[in-house]
Amino acid sequence: MMRIEDYSQLPVMPNEHTVKGVVSWNSIGEAHAQGKTPTTVRECMVDGYVVDIRTPLADATDLIYEHDFVLVRKDGQITGIVTAVDLAKQFKQLTHPFLLIGEIEHHLRNLVRGRFSTKELVTASGGDEGVRGPDDLTFGGYTRLLQPADAWDRLEVEADRSVFLDRLESVRQIRNDVMHFSPDARDQSETRQLECVARFCRKLTPHVGE
């Protein structure tokens, strides 16, 4: 059944309130490693770890990392399970936008590096005298820097300037939401926008990181 339904763990429960233990691929493998040939659930059952549904995820993380899962109790009933795979998916969902934004910034720095004077970079930054190179520019600074057609031409890239700057402005707005942990940030459409811009930037700077 576990193979057919693609389950990694199955709780052993005489009713919806009581957990006798859990059978998992790990527990089955451990039984065989000890020289046993289990024929019943009892022979390869391990303890099940239960947390209340109101438990902060951060507090349950150590248990999940140690045991690969926890069972979740709500109003006295076991209502679900949180696994290490679930944690990994949540981690990706939370961090993926940060990684994409960082990659886009990295590509932008390499696109403009060596093509503009420090004075031009300072002007694009709004007069910030602390700017010494592309690494000091914000997304807004990059947009202002590349707004003039002659500045864009210096990049020597095959791309429509207005479309690229429009996408860059979208990235800037998403970045501001992400960095301020806005609850409206990081929906799927915004993540797709970041992925599209990142893929496009990779084509513009194919040798970055080599």
Q: 114 burial class (0-12, 13-18, 19+ CB within 10 angstroms)?
A: exposed
Residues 79/93, Cβ–Cβ less than 8 Å: no
CATH superfamily of 2-86: CBS-domain (3.10.580.10)
Percentage of the chain modeled with pLDDT above 90? 40
Q: What angle do CA 58, 61, 91 make, to 5 degrees?
A: 80
The full set of domain ranges for the chain reads 2-86, 89-204
The confidence score (pLDDT) of residue 24 equals 81
Per the prediction, the chain carries an average pLDDT of: 85
Is the pLDDT at 186 greater than 70? The verdict is no
Rounded Cα distance, 202 and 134, in Å: 18
pTM: 0.61
pLDDT tens string 131-149: 999 999 999 999 999 999 9
Report the candidate in 121, 126, 107, 106 with the shortest Cα–Cα distance to residue 151.
121
H-helix segments, 48-187: 57-67, 84-112, 118-124, 139-146, 149-153, 161-179
Residue, of 63 and 180, whose pLDDT is higher: 63
Q: Which two tokens stand for residue 31?
A: 């039984």
pLDDT tens string 4-56: 455 677 888 889 888 888 888 788 888 888 888 888 888 888 888 899 999 88
pLDDT tens string 48-73: 889 999 988 888 888 888 888 899 99
Q: Beta strand 50-52 with 69-74: parallel, antiparallel or unpaired?
A: parallel
The confidence score (pLDDT) of residue 180 equals 60
